[in-house]
């Protein structure tokens, strides 16, 4: 049994627009082990979000090989990719992406509904996830009744309720003030300490340093790596 969850070799991503080739990612080699917390940093346009989208099966690489839990992603049909995303990957977005006309509890429950879990199991997972992020008392509220920090905590609850293999966070503090940002980062630190595997894109050096390892992107290439690849 290997403890490597992600292995990328020679990953490339090329966008074609009006016969112009844009190399968003080139020669990406990356391994992530179970229980690791990886930060991805770099200037705007360096390829951070593109890399995260490929990691989360929201986009496909133009070239190279991506193994997720030892399975070649390239061989997955569209329906299988959706299945893997729903069951094995938890997403935390900068913009929260909560559905405004659903309650907090219903937002957290929605991905579990797609998974076909029975109602009792869904309720148990929702209750546990909201308790983990300290939002049980807001379960019946609508997203519009919450602060930005509270909405992001609900988004974290939605991501962890499915017990994913990997949590992917794209600038999770980007729309928050410093106090709420610190609260969300403390929550992510607690999830990592409890065993979650976390990959986070951030532009904040202080938050990046909380991770066990950091890779720096520039012009679509990994130009620097710091920290240990051994899970904490």
Q: Phi and psi of 124, rounded to 5°?
A: -60, -45
Q: What is the pLDDT of residues 108-167, one digit of tens each?
A: 999 999 888 999 999 999 999 999 899 999 999 999 999 999 999 999 999 999 889 899
pLDDT band at 228 (very low <50, low <70, confident <90, very high): low
User: Residue 16: left (phi > 0), alpha (psi -120 to 50), or beta?
Assistant: beta
In a domain, 195, yes or no: yes
In a domain, 6, yes or no: no
CATH of the domain at 207: 3.40.50.300
Residue 1 CA to residue 179 CA, distance in Å, equals: 41
Give the chain's mean pLDDT.
92
In a domain, 66, yes or no: no
- Give pLDDT, residue 171: 93
In a domain, 45, yes or no: yes
Q: Which residue has the higher pLDDT, 16 or 10?
A: 10
pTM here is 0.90
Show the domain range for 161: 35-57+77-227
- Give pLDDT, residue 24: 93
Residue among 42, 31, 32, 34 at smallest CA distance from 204: 42
Degrees, nearest 5: CA angle 81-82-85: 85
Is it the case that residue 232 has pLDDT exceeding 50? no
In a domain, 186, yes or no: yes
In a domain, 64, yes or no: no
18 CB burial (10 A radius; 0-12, 13-18, 19+) = exposed
Number of compact structural domains in the chain: 1
In a domain, 216, yes or no: yes
Residue among 219, 186, 192, 213 at smallest CA distance from 40: 213
In a domain, 201, yes or no: yes
């Amino acid at each position: 049994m290997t403890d490597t969850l992600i292995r990328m070799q020679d990953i490339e991503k090329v966008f074609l627009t009006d016969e112009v080739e844009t190399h968003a990612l080139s020669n990406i080699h990356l391994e992530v082990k179970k229980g690791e917390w990886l930060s991805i940093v770099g200037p705007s346009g360096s390829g951070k979000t593109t890399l995260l989208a490929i990691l989360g099966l929201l986009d496909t690489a133009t070239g190279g090989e991506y193994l997720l839990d030892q399975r070649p992603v390239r061989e997955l049909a569209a329906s299988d990719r959706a299945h893997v995303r729903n069951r094995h990957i938890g997403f935390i977005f900068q913009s929260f992406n909560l559905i405004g006309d659903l309650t907090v509890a219903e937002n957290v429950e929605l991905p579990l509904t797609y998974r076909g879990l029975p109602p009792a199991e869904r309720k148990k997972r929702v209750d546990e996830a909201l308790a983990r992020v300290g939002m049980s008392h807001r379960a019946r509220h609508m997203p519009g009744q919450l602060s930005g920090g509270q909405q992001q905590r609900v988004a974290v609850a939605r991501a962890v309720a499915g017990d994913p293999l990997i949590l992917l966070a794209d600038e999770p503090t980007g729309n928050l003030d410093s106090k709420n940002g610190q609260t969300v980062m403390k929550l992510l630190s607690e999830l990592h300490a409890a065993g979650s595997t976390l990959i986070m894109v951030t532009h904040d050096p202080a938050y990046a340093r909380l991770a066990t390892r950091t890779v720096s992107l520039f012009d679509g290439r990994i130009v620097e790596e710091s920290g240990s690849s051994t899970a904490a």
